[in-house]
């Protein structure tokens, strides 16, 4: 009879014990970041770094000197292209990046530099490139804002 009471007690207490063991104790502990949260933060940080490098490359186009040539513009464009490739690859891993505007502005800049005649003067080259650079910088600023880059 005593063993029947003891077994009934344990059978009645078992669901309660299972419930307590599954909740893990104190609810005041802060949750640990998940792998996807860490990856998202890392990807955003990398995107901000890539955008900064891209910005530096684009700024080189604005700072051409009177002795610059069309070849200089094209060299600078190649650096912009390399930096943009990194931005595009990283942006694909960041949900908030919305790269479409930057992609369009970059394509217009690339087309302007590619279409420059070899014998263009610096003033002609600047006239072709300056508005495109401004559009790229505006689109990049919007992207940085969306991703919350410093």
pLDDT digits (tens, 9 = 90+) for 18-57: 333 444 444 445 445 444 555 878 899 999 999 999 999 9
User: Half-sphere exposure of 103 toward its Cβ, with a 13 Å CA cutoff?
Assistant: 9
Query: pTM here?
Result: 0.71
pLDDT at 38: 52
In angstroms, what CA-CA distances link 29 with 8, 24, 137? 35, 10, 44
In terms of Cβ atoms closer than 10 Å to its own Cβ (0-12, 13-18, 19+), residue 91 is: buried
In angstroms, what CA-CA distances link 52 with 22, 44, 108, 127? 47, 12, 20, 25
pLDDT at 92: 92
pLDDT at 5: 53
What length does the chain have?
150
Q: Which residue ranges in the chain fall short of pLDDT 50?
A: 6-28, 30-31, 33-35
């Amino acid at each position: 009879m005593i063993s029947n009471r003891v077994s009934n007690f344990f059978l009645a207490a078992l669901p309660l014990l299972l419930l307590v063991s599954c909740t893990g104790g104190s609810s005041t502990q802060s949750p640990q970041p998940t792998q996807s949260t860490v990856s998202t933060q890392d990807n955003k940080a990398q995107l901000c770094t890539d955008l900064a490098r891209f910005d530096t490359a684009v700024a080189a186009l604005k700072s051409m000197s009177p002795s610059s040539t069309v070849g200089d513009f094209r060299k600078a464009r190649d650096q912009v292209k390399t930096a943009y490739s990194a931005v595009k690859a990283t942006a694909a891993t960041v949900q908030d990046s919305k790269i479409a505007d930057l992609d369009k502005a970059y394509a217009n800049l690339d087309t302007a530099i590619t279409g420059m005649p070899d014998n263009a003067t610096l003033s002609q080259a600047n006239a072709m490139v300056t508005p495109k650079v401004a559009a790229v910088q505006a689109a990049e600023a919007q992207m940085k804002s969306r991703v919350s880059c410093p």
